[in-house]
Structure 1
Amino acid sequence: MSRFIFDGYEFDVATNTAVFKYRFPEKNLSYTETIVFKSGDVQYSQEALVRALDLAHVLTGVSYYKAFPTSEVEFANGGVDGWQADFFNKVYQEGLSQYAYENELTRDDLAKFVASMETPPLPAVAYNGRGIVSMQSGGKDSLLVAALLDKSNTDYTPFYISSSNGYPAILDSLKEPLVLAQRKLDREGLRRASSLGGKNGHVPVTYIAMSYALVQAILLGKNTVLVAIAHEGEEPHGWIGDLPVNHQWSKTWQAEQLFAEYVRRYISPDIIVGSPLRRYSELKVSQLFADHAWPQFGKEFSSCNVANYKQGANNSKLTWCGQCPKCANSYLLFAPFINKNELQARLGGELFTKPELVDTFKGLLGVDGIMKPFECVGEVEELRRAYRLAVANGYAPLPFEVPLSDFDMDSTYDSQEQVSVVTLGF
């Protein structure tokens, strides 16, 4: 059986560059990933930084591990305790559930981290940084957080991860200057893995991005990382035995709690990571965006992955393809609150009447047994409610019956109190 080795990492303090290393010894295959962060004019906590890099190293590894899934994972240096083993097993099993489904794997085929008592983890440290890093993507949720921070006159640092010097131009319209980190995947290693028959598939990228934002926050002397995630991902697409299949696992409330607890236990209890939108449904967030952010960002933002986020794509100007599940989902969520002429001009026409989107909408709305798309989309009941509100707002109906829903968009959900109070100017 092949093994996947976490082969250590380096951090160059002169250039703020992290180099993460991994290998499959039986495949004679190694990877090196580089992430370049921005420096700040502060004396940052080296102790907190090391602990955050430890986390980022393991989470980043999932991008390479997936080529040749194995239960055998090892650390070239150090190890994990029991709680960490359980945490990383969640990431590498439930976080890879869509990948497992698409590659016909089971939980038993995936990584099994085992506690090592020989090298106990470093204890958490006290941390006295202050300030907010707000993760940005150019999509509705992160721009809403920025708008609410602005509305409440709260200082923050917007943060974006790119594979180049490029980023969505809409982020230049934020009140605060953008901080950009550059992630350089080991594309040559990935190509070699593919030539050897390696597998591919979706990874829990939100967790990876959160770990980079955490590192960047420490380098800037900040103590709060805001990720923009509503109540979502709680509805699995299906099951593989006892493994729920979920495209959005790393966006779930469980995942946020686990990440925050990891930070508290192993990095610092004085650092906060979480989403101020967690207590709201996607439909409520769309209403809030329409009320608080559409006038500023409506003509430039996008949640469409197809048009903007393919590898190597130039996403300086965000657009919508008008053909994919993300576009269909956004159309459903915004139609109750945005004039149809304005929304249709932005998203590419009257999506409810496009024949090629009928099955996509059936999947989103839970009709005819069609599986919900493997995308970050709303839950069936809230999307059914959104559809009824859209038709009442003058939108043409779909060519099939949509079940009624009593979904209450004003319901609130569990969230981290210390995160929820950060922004809330409404």
Structure 2
Amino acid sequence: MKTNNRVKNLREKHPKFVYEKYSYNILNNNFKMFFQFKIEPDIIFSPEITIKGIDKKRLALIGDRVLNNLVFHIGLIEVLSYWKAASSPEIIIKAGYLNKEQIKWWKDLIFNGMGQFFYENNINFTDPNFLKISNDFKGAERREQYRGKLKTSKVLVPVGGGKDSVITMEILKRNINCFSLNPTLASKKIMKAAHCQNPIIVERRIDKNLLKLNQKGYLNGHTPFSAYLAFLSVLLALIFDHKFIAFSNERSSNEGNLKYLGRNINHQWSKSFQFENLFRKYSKKYLAKEVEYFSFLRPLYEIQIAKLFSKYPKYFFSFLSCNEAHKTNSGRKKPIKGWCGKCPKCLFVFAVLYPFLKQRDLIRIFKKNLFTKKELLVIMKELIGERKFKPFECVGTKKESLVAFYLSWEKASKLNELPFLLKYFEKKILPKHLNLKKESQRTMKSWNNQHNLPVRFKKDLKYLTNYIGMLQ
């Protein structure tokens, strides 16, 4: 397969991407990181990240060599957002040194984590000459892994605006320290409702040059954001002295969306169990051996999490996980800051909540009954596997989407009110899946043993799921 002409021209015009340097300083109890990247010959990026409310004494205990290592790695994951603009054939690392094992790890991250980007931009990333990562580090090595001990009393929990982190916070309750990157109104409301005391706030500033390039026709698209959060969380764990980092990624994220050039393309790859294992190994070897990074909700499906979420009504009108709500199209439009009611994420979340929430609450959340919208039929078919393509969104597996629509149909049937999508489901989908009742029961009672939960956290999650009758 040939890469399209636009990509080919950009790669020829910009053959090298350079990670030039990084630095950091402390200003008014804020830890500020600075990076410089270059797309040769003449495009410069200078993104910045600020971690607020740090303890200077704690930083002194960590030491400059450890901080240098972690900031260098934050720069590496930051690279992906800027490299993609031209997808240069070579990434040159001048800011530090990577050994052969690390270079392979980072190439694998790019190939797996940016599969959607390659697909949507018609890029042949399977070409053996597609990408080279090379070292050009000239200075003395100033970096080392953290080998000290960390406190186990509290767990670091990243908080977005969605329902999943709500469940993690509620189950772990008094033993958490929240953090949020560029917090949205939804994430602020959620942290307040969860009584997160003094949440850690991180501000990430994207270089405006990148937005200008996007508007000029340079490449744009999906990057593995959860991988970004993983590296950031290790730095935060050390700065704020936490051994445990509990993400809220579930087993549903393991399923891909489609095949492209013989590869499985998964929008949620950096949320998957595969990435979790790869990152844990890398982090313990190169970042901080003591840190335990894991996903607290890994044993569960999204629809099981939705049932758990239904037990916490104080969050119903605060959470927001519609990605359209925050999109700006590279600065061309203002974000809508609410559920759009038109995208796969909205329909999926509506479907998994419908069996467990009162309809008046759902309508208040989404402003309408999404099952009445005929224009969402195509999306429903994509979600349940009636088409070859599963939407590029953080949605559940095709099987659990079927279960969600089945349970929704079952509930609506008892109320004698079948809206358009559920009528279609009854007529066209149900006859093809005669075992959906049993499949629904199995799904709602399932527990995935492929996880990295420490014993004490496994007990916490199992206790609650047993309590609400989810597990056998």
Distance 1:192 1:344, change over 3 A: closer
Please say if 1:418 is aligned against 2:454. yes
Residue aligning to 2:47: 33
* 2:182 is the counterpart of 1:162: yes
Deviations 1:69-105 (A, max 9, x none): 1331111133212221122112211111111011100
Give the residue type in structure 2 aligned to 1:245. Answer: I
1:139–1:301 contact (8 Å) kept in structure 2: yes
Q: Is the 8 A contact 1:80 1:121 kept in 2?
A: no
Aligned match of 1:362:
381
Could you tell me which of 81, 89, 100 is aligned with 2:99? 81
Which residues in structure 2 correspond to 1:22-421 (within 5 Å)?
A: 22-26=37-41, 28-41=42-55, 42-44=57-59, 45-46=62-63, 47-107=65-125, 108=127, 110-113=130-133, 124-130=145-151, 131-150=154-173, 153-154=174-175, 156-162=176-182, 168-177=188-197, 178-187=199-208, 189-194=209-214, 197-291=217-311, 294-308=312-326, 310=328, 319-367=338-386, 369=387, 371-394=389-412, 396=418, 397-400=422-425, 401-402=428-429, 403-404=432-433, 405=436, 406=439, 408-409=442-443, 410-413=445-448, 414-418=450-454, 420-421=457-458
Alignment correspondent of 2:8: none
The alignment of Structure 1 onto Structure 2 pairs a total of residues equal to 417
Tell me the CA shift for residue 163 of structure 1.
7.4
Pair 1:198–1:244, CA change in 2 (3 A)? same
Q: Give the secondary-structure state (helix, strand or coil) at the position aligned to 2:47.
A: strand
Residue 399 of structure 1 and its aligned partner are, at CA, apart by 1.9
Give 1:232 deviation, angstroms.
2.4
Deviation at 1:218, TM superposition (A): 1.8
How many angstroms apart in 1 are the aligned matches of 2:270 and 2:290? 22
Cα shift at 1:162: 0.7
Instruction: Give the drift of 1:275.
Output: 0.9
Query: Which deviates more from structure 2 when the two are superposed, residues 208-217 or residues 373-382?
Result: 208-217
The correspondence of residues 4-19 of structure 1 with structure 2, limited to 5 A, is: 4-14=17-27, 15-19=30-34
State the Cα distance separating 1:66 from its structure 2 match: 0.6
Shift of 1:342: 2.1
Mapped to 2, the partners of 1:163 and 1:157 lie a distance apart of 15
- How many Å apart are 1:117 and its aligned residue? 11
RMSD: 2.7
| Cα displacement string for residues 166-193 of structure 1 (whole angstroms, at most 9, x for unaligned residues) | 9633322222222211110001x11443
- What letter corresponds to residue 304 of structure 1 in structure 2? C
Distance in 2 of aligned mates of 1:120 and 1:252:
33
Superposed displacement of residue 370, structure 1: 5.1
Q: Flag the 1:356–1:215 CA change in 2: closer, same or farther, 3 A.
A: same
The offset of 1:223, in angstroms, is 2.1
Give the C-alpha shift of residue 122 in structure 1. 5.1
Q: CA deviation at 1:349?
A: 2.2
Indicate conservation of the 8 Å contact 1:139/1:302, yes or no: yes
TM-score with structure 2 length normalisation? 0.81
Deviates more, 1:197-206 or 1:47-56: 47-56
Structure whose residues are more often helix by fraction: 2
Change (3 A) 1:325 1:394: same
Mapped partners of 1:17, 1:193: distance in 2: 25
Shift of 1:343: 1.6
Is the CA contact 2:90–2:134 (under 8 Å) kept in the aligned structure 1? no
Q: Is the Cα–Cα contact under 8 Å of residues 231 and 280 in structure 1 kept in the other structure?
A: yes
CA contact (8 A) 2:70 2:287 kept: yes
Q: Which runs of 5+ in 2 are unaligned?
A: 1-11, 465-472
- Percentage identity across paired residues of the two chains: 23
Query: Partner amino acid for 2:375?
Result: E
Matching residue of 2:6: none
SS in 2 for 1:233: helix
Please give the per-residue CA displacement for 1:371-402, whole angstroms capped at 9, x wherever unaligned. 21111111101110111111112262142422
Larger radius of gyration: 2
Structure 1 residue 357 displacement after superposition = 0.6
* Counterpart contact for 1:93–1:110, Cα < 8 Å: no
Over 3 Å counting, the alpha-carbon distance change for 1:333 and 1:112 in structure 2 is: farther
Query: Could you say which structure has the greater relative contact order, defined with CA pairs below 8 angstroms and 6 or more residues apart?
Result: 1
Q: Secondary structure of the residue that 2:131 maps to in structure 1?
A: coil
